[in-house]
Amino acid sequence: MAYKIALAGIGKIARDQHVPAIAASPDWDLAATVSRHGSVDGVEAYDDLGAMLAARPDIEVVSLCMPPVPRFDYAKAAIAAGRHVMLEKPPGASLAECHALEAMARAAGVSIYATWHSREAAMVATAKAWLKDKTLESLHVIWKEDVRKWHPGQTWIWQAGGLGVFDPGINALSIVTEILPDPIHVTASELLIPENCETPIAASIDFAHPGGARVTAEFDFRKEGDQFWTIEIEAREGRLTLLEGGGALEIDGKAQTAGPATDALTGEYPRLYANMARLVRAGGVDMDLAPLVHVADAFLLGRWITVDPFIE
Active site residues: 89
Q: What angle do CA 137, 185, 128 make, to 5 degrees?
A: 55
How far apart, in Å, are the Cα atoms of 55 and each of 45, 50, 146?
11, 9, 42
**Phi-psi map region of 164: left, alpha, beta (phi>0 left; psi -120 to 50 alpha):** left
Q: What distances in angstroms separate CA 237 from CA 7, 137, 240, 251, one per listed residue?
A: 45, 10, 10, 11
Contacts of 289 (CB under 8 A, 6+ apart): 91, 95, 98, 99, 114
Element at 101 (helix H, strand E): helix 95-108
Q: Determine the Cα–Cα distance for residues 161 and 154; give it in Å rounded to an integer.
A: 13
